[in-house]
């Protein structure tokens, strides 16, 4: 009876997982899902690889839904157990944590998107970071590195993991100062870098060979897809003079004229960044412009280089306007999840400088993970809440844990 009581959250999560799958395991397809189903291995290939393995084995999309739902369920169970051990959660708090983390499963479990397994991998990653901080050993270091690589291979969004893991390793070395530990951490970081980039090079080679044999032209958006839209949004007619190259000037003028005619620049529309009205307008005009459309058909890399050159020139000339736009993206979307981790990070760094404790290093890890995730989305993508679930749910969980533990200690003090 005691054993069942101690594992009630695990049983509950498993019951809820099977209830969801019993209710419906039919896959829901978003427009983004098509590139995974088409077998596009461009950029981060892991989810496409999983889909192809599951479909070739079970011949149905339902198998993918079942797999990603179970992985998320085990991610919640593992994360909750680790947090319970190191932050001394009672059964009620453990139950609240588990149920709160289950909310993203309800929303995403049956969608053919990278969000489900990315959410699960994020939970596993932070679990092993907690274990690594409180119990520094090669086993925890190994598994935290594995989940860094899995995240990097699942979404290009997670390239922010490099500075985050570097910051964590620096903190670990400052707590566990020795030449041996320094070598271990350097080897671990270099292993992550080499394995990730080797896999991406192999994937690019495989993808190139496959597409060549099939006579397929791969379309890649890259980070300048979104930066280009930002740069056009903040531009003005006088910016045409920035371009000495005739082709670039013609491309900019053609796109800007149409955007300006539809009043989609910052001069006419300045609400909620530009994602309410102008984003789709600029994207569609650029996509259908004669200059870029013909270029994309001929050479996708050259097409992206043209967008890159235009973006850099426009942002350099309108740099403060660009900074203002980025700040608006921060502020107009989920500003609370930027300013709260920022002040947590600031307080944790100050305290870590004075007293190198495990708790302050963990708070640095969590807050930097949240800030970096948001920053990448605001700088290099379109702001959508589903891109932020990896950090925001964990952030709220630990705010709840820290406050509840503080109140518990306060009560004992009286």
DSSP assignment letter at 43: S
Secondary structure class of 45 (helix, strand, coil):
coil
Q: What b/e string do you get for 84-102 counting C-beta neighbours within 10 Å, with b at 16 or more?
A: bebbebeeebbbbbbeebb
Closest CA to 13 of 126, 120, 118, 88: 120
DSSP assignment letter at 222: -
pLDDT for the residue 414: 47
DSSP codes, 313-378: HHHHHTHHHHHHHHHHHHHHTTTHHHHHHHHHHHHHHHHHHHS--HHHHHHHHHHHHHHHHHHHHH
pLDDT for the residue 172: 95
Q: Give, in order, the Cα–Cα distances in Å from 337 to each of 79, 130, 395.
A: 21, 21, 8
pLDDT for the residue 213: 47
pLDDT for the residue 304: 73
What is the rounded CA–CA span in Å between residue 27 and residue 350? Answer: 47
pLDDT for the residue 23: 87
Would the pTM count as exceeding 0.85?
no
Contacts of 150 (CB under 8 A, 6+ apart): 46, 121
Sign of CA dihedral 364, 161, 396, 226: positive
Residues linked to residue 28 through DSSP beta bridges, in sequence order: 111
pLDDT for the residue 142: 96
Secondary structure class of 13 (helix, strand, coil):
helix
pLDDT for the residue 345: 93
What is the rounded CA–CA span in Å between residue 121 and residue 154? Answer: 9
Yes or no: say if 405 and 87 are a contact pair by the CB < 8 Å rule. yes
| Residue that the structure tokens 């600029």 belong to | 282
Secondary structure class of 111 (helix, strand, coil):
strand
Per-residue pLDDT tens digits of the chain, which is 414 residues long? 555 566 788 889 999 999 999 888 888 887 777 777 776 555 688 988 899 899 888 888 999 999 999 999 999 999 999 999 999 888 899 999 999 999 999 988 898 889 999 999 999 999 999 999 999 999 999 999 999 999 999 988 899 999 999 999 999 999 998 899 999 999 999 999 999 999 888 887 776 665 544 444 444 556 677 788 888 888 988 888 888 888 788 888 888 888 888 888 888 766 665 556 778 888 888 877 776 666 555 555 666 778 888 888 899 989 988 888 877 777 666 667 778 899 999 999 999 998 889 999 999 999 999 999 888 887 776 667 777 888 889 999 999 998 888 777 766 654
pLDDT for the residue 98: 93
pLDDT for the residue 137: 94
Yes or no: say if 140 and 132 are a contact pair by the CB < 8 Å rule. yes
Which tokens go with 392? 């925001």
Tell me the CA end-to-end span of the chain in Å, nearest whole number: 34
pLDDT for the residue 236: 87
pLDDT for the residue 333: 62
pLDDT for the residue 332: 66
DSSP assignment letter at 113: S
pLDDT for the residue 35: 75
């Amino acid at each position: 009876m005691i054993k069942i009581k101690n594992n009630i959250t695990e049983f509950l999560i498993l019951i809820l997982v099977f209830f969801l799958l019993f209710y419906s395991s039919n896959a829901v397809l978003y427009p983004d899902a098509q590139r995974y189903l088409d077998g596009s291995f461009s950029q981060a290939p892991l989810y496409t690889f999983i889909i192809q393995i599951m479909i070739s084995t079970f011949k149905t999309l339902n198998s993918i839904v079942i797999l990603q739902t179970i992985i998320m369920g085990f991610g919640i169970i593992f994360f909750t157990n680790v947090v319970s051990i190191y932050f001394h959660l009672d059964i009620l708090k453990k139950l609240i944590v588990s149920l709160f983390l289950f909310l993203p499963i309800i929303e995403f479990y049956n969608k053919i998107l990278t969000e489900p397994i990315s959410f699960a991998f994020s939970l596993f990653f932070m679990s092993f970071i907690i274990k690594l901080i409180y119990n520094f050993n090669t086993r925890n270091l190994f598994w935290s590195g594995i989940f860094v690589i899995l995240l990097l291979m699942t979404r290009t969004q997670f390239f922010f993991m490099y500075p985050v893991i570097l910051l964590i390793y620096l903190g670990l070395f400052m707590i566990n100062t020795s030449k041996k530990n320094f070598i271990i951490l350097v080897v671990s970081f270099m292993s992550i870098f080499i394995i990730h980039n080797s896999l991406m090079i192999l994937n690019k080679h495989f993808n190139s060979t496959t597409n060549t044999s099939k006579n397929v032209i791969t379309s890649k958006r890259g980070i300048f897809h979104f930066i280009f839209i930002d740069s056009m949004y903040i531009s003005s007619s006088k910016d045409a003079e920035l371009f000495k190259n005739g082709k670039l000037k013609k491309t900019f003028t053609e796109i800007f004229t149409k955007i300006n005619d539809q009043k989609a620049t910052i001069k006419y529309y300045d609400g909620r960044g530009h994602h309410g009205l102008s984003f789709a307008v600029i994207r569609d005009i650029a996509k259908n412009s004669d200059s870029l459309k013909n270029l994309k058909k001929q050479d996708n890399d050259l097409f992206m280089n043209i967008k890159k050159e235009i973006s850099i020139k426009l942002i350099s000339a309108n740099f403060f306007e660009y900074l203002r736009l980025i700040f608006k993206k921060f502020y107009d979307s989920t500003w609370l999840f930027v300013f709260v981790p920022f002040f947590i990070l600031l307080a944790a760094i100050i305290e870590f400088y004075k007293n190198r404790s495990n708790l302050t290093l963990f708070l640095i890890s969590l807050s930097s993970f949240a800030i970096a995730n948001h920053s990448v989305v605001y700088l290099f993508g379109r702001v959508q809440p589903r891109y932020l679930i990896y950090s925001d749910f964990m952030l709220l969980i630990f705010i709840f844990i820290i406050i509840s533990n503080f109140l518990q200690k306060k009560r004992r003090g009286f």
